[in-house]
Amino acid sequence: MKRYLTPRQGALDGVEAFLSVAEHRSFRKAADALGVTPSAVSQAVRTLEARVDAPLFTRTTRSVGLTEAGQRFLLRAKPAFEELLAASESARDVGGRPTGLLRLAVPRAVVPILLEPLLASFAEAYPEVEVEIAASEELVDLASEGFDAGIRMGQFIAADMVAVRLAPPFSMSVVGSPAYLARHPTPVSPEDLALHACLRWRRSAGAVALWSLKRGNRTIDVAVTGPLIANDFPTLLGAALQGIGLAQLPEPIVRQSLESGRLMEVLSEFAPTAPGVFLYFPSHRQMLPKLRAFVDHVKGRRAVAPKGGCKP
């Protein structure tokens, strides 16, 4: 026997009229409550009775009562209809103000640098929004994976996405620890990297990334080798701090280590510029208030950023 996984077309027609008549025990009072004519209520109930193939009410000139079929229908239909109304109210509530769960797919490296200060101020401004962070290097499909938005470096965002800048362009710096550079000659040209242990990054698609460097006005890709491959920048940063080799990393990630002297930059004149970090999402048309609030919060924080940098 075939089972319907969703209601057939018209399966809910007449249910509200039936419930109102069952509550008031009167077609006229039910019509007044629904704001329609008694004949409209009567027709809706007759259509429902024809569809379920059973009389739902006993009618006399003085009263209206439920048949056995009507009592069974009322027992199941009333809580189901009330649940549908509650679901509609819940959806309307989410659609009307910033509330609910906001899911973001982000790389691990941007959480302490960009997101932590941003999330603190956002949580204070919008206490009814819960933010879930899925920290992963994978380039996920936002819609199919149930995410509202993602954060990525600009060069990895598809052209059909809406992108909002989180951080300005930055250099991709080649760095090493003082201990490593004490054991190896400091490279002065991209060709010198062939003599060095280079820590490499595996992209989410599976390929090991080449190191991109600039020479004059053009970009060159350099195939390097080394003892470690990782799929995230924090692991490469940790390995560089331990003196395992040189790493090419976004400047914001290594800035603190450079300022403290735990890392040293080399080949700075060859460092290329990345477009920056962006919040991205599929479309403005389907944006719920929770995402709109987050986007506006990002833009507001960026607007008050000091000159020469982008406040996260």
Which amino acid does the sequence have at 259? Answer: E
Q: Tens digits of per-residue pLDDT, 176-229?
A: 999 999 999 999 999 999 999 999 999 877 889 999 999 988 999 999 999 999
Q: Rounded to whole angstroms, how far apart are CA atoms 111 and 163?
A: 18
pTM: 0.60
Instruction: List, by residue range, all CATH 1.10.10.10 domains of the chain.
Output: 15-96
What homologous superfamily does CATH list for 100-168+278-303?
Periplasmic binding protein-like II (3.40.190.10)
103 pLDDT band, cuts 50/70/90, is very high
Provide CATH 3.40.190.290 ranges for the chain: 170-274
Structure confidence by residue, pLDDT tens digits, 149-175: 999 888 888 888 889 888 889 999 999
Query: Is the domain 15-96 a CATH 1.10.10.10 member?
Result: yes
- Among the listed residues 258, 263, 259, the one whose alpha carbon sits nearest the alpha carbon of residue 244: 263
CB atoms within 10 A of CB 161: 16
Cβ atoms of 67 and 56 within 8 Å: the answer is yes
Name the segment(s) of the chain with CATH classification 3.40.190.10: 100-168+278-303
The alpha-carbon radius of gyration of the chain (Å, integer) is 31
Nearest CA among 277, 198, 208, 301 for reference residue 245: 198
Q: How confident is the model at residue 94 (pLDDT cuts 50, 70, 90)?
A: low
CATH top-level class of 170-274: alpha beta
Phi and psi based region of residue 308 (left: phi greater than 0; alpha: psi -120 to 50; beta: remaining):
left
